[in-house]
Amino acid sequence: MPMLTQPKLNFLYSEPATLESRVGNTPLIRLSRLAADLAPAVQVFAKAEWFNPSGSVKDRPAANILRAAFENGDLDSSGERRLLDSTSGNMGIAYATFGATRGIGITLAVPANASPERLSILRALGAEIVLTDPLEGSDGAILEARRLAHERPDRYYYANQYSNPANWQAHYLSTGPEIIEQTDGQVTHFVAGLGTSGTLTGTGRRLKEYNPAIQLVAVQPDAPFHGLEGLKHMDTAIKPAIYDETLADVNLSVNTEEAQRMTLRLAREEGLFVGISAGAAAVAALDVARTLDEGVVVAIFPDAGFKYLSERFWSNK
């Protein structure tokens, strides 16, 4: 067998084979058995965001926030400043992944009740973790990140995913155009859970520019106290600065147990082993789809189920 020579190896890739270049372009997967009761001309698709390199939709904003921070000079390759933010998990994993590739230290304020799987992944990726009071939830982590940023502006670049425009712009530049292309422009409804609101805001703005008739459906927990990791009850939480309350055409609230039941059904009837916020998005997407005679509904499924295995509901029948 002929051996490849060194010069030839240099030309194996026509594009830079970096991890960041693999962010986005996630597949659309059509729901079939769960959509069996819908009108024949209604299709529901999951945008399978766990196909991103670090396993969640958060790769898009994290990579874009890092890119923007390098462009603005907030961070540089000397690695002297660290990126700081608050997160309940996925955003931290994405920051830590791309921070590692760029040689940037990552410091995260994380509520102590974030799932143990997530904390282990963050530690494996070398992130510095500051645990915050579990009774204060993600808002407690936000306040701690603010405090650290204020105390040590020399040490930290405070990325603040809740107010950083590079968050929603990532979706405007990638998620939105991908959905238009993948549905051949036929998308009629877009469904996304609200956490920072970046996904709905960025994707939604792009879709509305393409076709103002596309309906944007925002999904929230039905109560301030809930088990839908990554989602926020906007009326009672610290409102993200990037949240545009006027953008969504429809606001739906989903109950934790309902989302958990749907998460089990997605695994068992569609082979989609996804996280609980994907279950919530599916509840909302199917609720909307049931009211239609025809349409193409696309829902964001933020991540896979691995990081939630310590939750008790998986053992439900």
Partner 1 sequence: MATIRIPTPLRPYAGGNAEVPVSGNTVGAALNDLTARHPDLRKHLYTDSGELRAFVNVFLGQEDVRHMQGENTALKENDQLRIVPSVAGGAMG
Which residues contact partner 1 (rule: CB under 8 A)? 88, 110-111, 113-115, 134-142, 221, 223-233, 236-238, 256-257, 260, 276, 310-313, 316
Q: Which of 251, 243, 247 is nearest to 288 (CA)?
A: 251
Catalytic, out of 58, 86, 138, 232: 58
Pick between residue 163 and residue 316 the one whose CB is nearest to partner 1.
316
What string of DSSP letters covers 272-301? --B-HHHHHHHHHHHHHHHT-SEEEEEEEE
Collapsing DSSP to helix, strand or coil, 29 comes out as strand
Closer of 178 and 303 to partner 1 (Cβ): 303
Alpha carbon distance 113, 177 (integer Å): 36
Least distance (Å) between residue 298 CB and partner 1? 25
For residue 197 the two structure tokens come to: 């609101």
Cβ closest to partner 1, residue 119 vs residue 248: 119
Nearer to partner 1 by Cβ, of 228 and 285: the residue is 228
Least Cβ distance, residue 165 to partner 1 (angstroms): 21
HSE-up (13 A, CA, CB side) for residue 50:
15
Q: How far is the CB of 123 from partner 1 (least distance, A)?
A: 17
Minimal distance, residue 221 CB to partner 1, in Å:
7
Q: Which two tokens stand for residue 128?
A: 């510095």
Residue 317 annotated in active site: no
56 is catalytic: no
Least distance (Å) from partner 1 to the CB of residue 140? 7
Cβ(29)–Cβ(46) below 8 Å: yes
CB of 220 to partner 1, least distance (A): 11
* 3-state per-residue secondary structure call for 168-211: HHHHHHCHHHHHHHHCCCCCCEEEEECCCCHHHHHHHHHHHHHC
**Can you say how many angstroms the Cα of residue 100 is from the centroid of all Cα atoms in its chain?**
19
Query: Exposed (0-12), middle (13-18) or buried (19+): which is 2, by Cβ within 10 Å?
Result: exposed
Which one of 174, 232, 277, 307 is the catalytic residue?
277
Residue 125 or 237 with smaller CB distance to partner 1: 237
Which three-class secondary structure state does DSSP give residue 310? coil
DSSP output for 131-181: EE-GGGHHHHHHHHHHHHHHH-TTTEEE--TTT-HHHHHHHHHTHHHHHHH
Nearer to partner 1 among residue 93 and residue 110 (C-beta): 110
Q: Which residues are catalytic?
A: 58, 277
